[in-house]
Amino acid sequence: QCLLAVLQAVTAPAQTLGVKLLVDGITGDDSSAIGWGTAVIILGFTVMFVGMVISGPIQDTTAERVAGQVYRDLLDVTVSVPSIIHHEHPEVADKLELIREHAWRLGMSFEMLLFIIGTAANTVAVLGLLGSVHPVLLLLPVLGLGRVWSSYLSIRRLQDAFEETAPQGRVIDRLIEISKDARNGLEVRVFGLRSVLVDRLSRLHDELYDVQGTAMRKGALLDGSVRLLFGLVYAAAIVWAIARARAGGISAGDVVLLILVAPQVDQMAGGLAGNVYWLGEVLRSFGRYEWLRTYAEKNSWAQSREPAPTRLSAGIRLENVEFSYPGSERPVLKNVNLTLPAGATVALVGENGAGKTTLVKVLARLYDPSAGTVWIDDTDLRTIDPAAWRKRMSAGFQDFVKFQLTAREVVGIGDTERQDDEQAIQAALVRGDAEAVVARLPKGLDTQLGKKFTGGMELSGGQWQRLALARAFMRERTLLLLLDEPTAALDPEAEHVLFERFAEASRVAARETGGVTILVSHRFSTVRMADLIVVMVDGQVTEVGSHEELLDLDGRYAELFEMQARAYR
Instruction: Tell me the closest approach of the beta carbon of residue 416 to ligand ATP, in angstroms.
Output: 27
Rank residues 20 and 361 by Cβ distance to ligand ATP and give the closer one.
361
Residue 399 makes contact with ligand ATP by CB under 6 A: no
Instruction: Tell me the closest approach of the beta carbon of residue 299 to ligand ATP, in angstroms.
Output: 17
Residue 332 makes contact with ligand ATP by CB under 6 A: yes
- Hey, is 325 helix, strand or coil? coil
Which DSSP symbol is given to 503? Answer: H
User: Under rule CB under 6 A, which residues in 88-147 are in contact with ligand ATP?
Assistant: 88
Residue 521 makes contact with ligand ATP by CB under 6 A: no
Instruction: Tell me the closest approach of the beta carbon of residue 357 to ligand ATP, in angstroms.
Output: 3
On whether the CB atoms of residues 516 and 316 are closer than 8 A, the answer is yes
Interface with ligand ATP by CB under 6 A: which range of 41-49, 171-179, 193-201, 355-363?
355-363
Determine the angle formed by the axes of helices 422-431 and 492-513, rounding to 10 degrees.
130
The burial class, CB within 10 Å (0-12 / 13-18 / 19+), for 98 is middle
Interface with ligand ATP by CB under 6 A: which range of 28-36, 141-149, 354-362, 447-455?
354-362
> Strand 516-520 relative to strand 345-350: parallel, antiparallel, unpaired?
parallel
Applying CB under 6 A, among 32, 195, 328, 423 the residue interacting with ligand ATP is 328
The burial class, CB within 10 Å (0-12 / 13-18 / 19+), for 195 is exposed
Residue 374 makes contact with ligand ATP by CB under 6 A: no
Applying CB under 6 A, among 165, 345, 358, 448 the residue interacting with ligand ATP is 358
Q: Which of 418, 533, 523, 513 is nearest to 473 (CA)?
A: 418
Applying CB under 6 A, among 68, 128, 307, 353 the residue interacting with ligand ATP is 353
Q: Which of 38, 49, 31, 33 is nearest to 15 (CA)?
A: 38
Rank residues 358 and 448 by Cβ distance to ligand ATP and give the closer one.
358
* Per-position DSSP letters for 380-434, written without gaps between them: EGGGB-HHHHHHTEEEEETT-----SBHHHHHHGGGGGGTT-HHHHHHHHHHTT-
Q: How far apart are CA 66 and CA 101, in angstroms?
A: 14
Interface with ligand ATP by CB under 6 A: which range of 126-134, 201-209, 350-358, 400-408?
350-358
The burial class, CB within 10 Å (0-12 / 13-18 / 19+), for 491 is exposed
Residue 390 makes contact with ligand ATP by CB under 6 A: no
Instruction: Tell me the closest approach of the beta carbon of residue 330 to ligand ATP, in angstroms.
Output: 8
- Hey, is 170 helix, strand or coil? helix
| Burial annotation 271-280 (CB, 10 A radius, 16+ → b, else e) | bbbbbbbbee
The burial class, CB within 10 Å (0-12 / 13-18 / 19+), for 490 is buried
Instruction: Tell me the closest approach of the beta carbon of residue 353 to ligand ATP, in angstroms.
Output: 4
Interface with ligand ATP by CB under 6 A: which range of 27-35, 110-118, 128-136, 348-356?
348-356
Helices (H) and strands (E) in the chain, counts: 21, 10
Interface with ligand ATP by CB under 6 A: which range of 18-26, 137-145, 352-360, 495-503?
352-360
Q: How far apart are CA 78 and CA 86, in angstroms?
A: 8
Element (H, E) at 530: none
Applying CB under 6 A, among 352, 455, 548, 569 the residue interacting with ligand ATP is 352
Residue 355 makes contact with ligand ATP by CB under 6 A: yes
Residue 357 makes contact with ligand ATP by CB under 6 A: yes
Rank residues 332 and 384 by Cβ distance to ligand ATP and give the closer one.
332
* Site map (CB under 6 A) of ligand ATP, residues 37-66, x = contact: ------------------------------
Interface with ligand ATP by CB under 6 A: which range of 1-9, 313-321, 349-357, 401-409?
349-357
Applying CB under 6 A, among 6, 133, 354, 376 the residue interacting with ligand ATP is 354
Residue 447 makes contact with ligand ATP by CB under 6 A: no
Rank residues 332 and 510 by Cβ distance to ligand ATP and give the closer one.
332
Footprint on this chain of ligand ATP (rule: CB under 6 A):
88, 325, 328, 332, 350, 352-358
